[in-house]
Amino acid sequence: MSVARPQDIVCKELVELLTDFLEQHLVWCPGCSEYLRQFRATIGATRKLAEEDLPEGVKENLLDAFRHWRHGS
């Protein structure tokens, strides 16, 4: 049995290790469970922000601002 060096672990293995570790950790850690819950809620809320939620004129103003910004004026 040998201890793996950081460079011996490929990204996929690291992700799998981290996922396993996190899942086991979340079972008993209320702090991280709550954090993850809020994090997911935030992502969900952001995804729900659709174009049509923008007030009248805001989208045009933003597009205008971006156009000017890209032209450097």
Residues at the contact surface with Zn ion, assessed by CB under 5 A? 29, 32
- Minimum separation from the CB atom of position 29 to Zn ion (A): 3
- Minimum separation from the CB atom of position 15 to Zn ion (A): 19
Quick one: 24 or 42, whose CB is closer to Zn ion?
24
Burial class from Cβ neighbours inside 10 Å (0-12, 13-18, 19+) for residue 26 reads middle
Helix, strand, or coil (residue 2): coil
- Minimum separation from the CB atom of position 70 to Zn ion (A): 43
Quick one: 36 or 62, whose CB is closer to Zn ion?
36
Distance (Å, rounded) from C-alpha 2 to C-alpha 72?
57
| H-helix segments, the chain | 11-28, 30-48, 58-71
Quick one: 29 or 54, whose CB is closer to Zn ion?
29
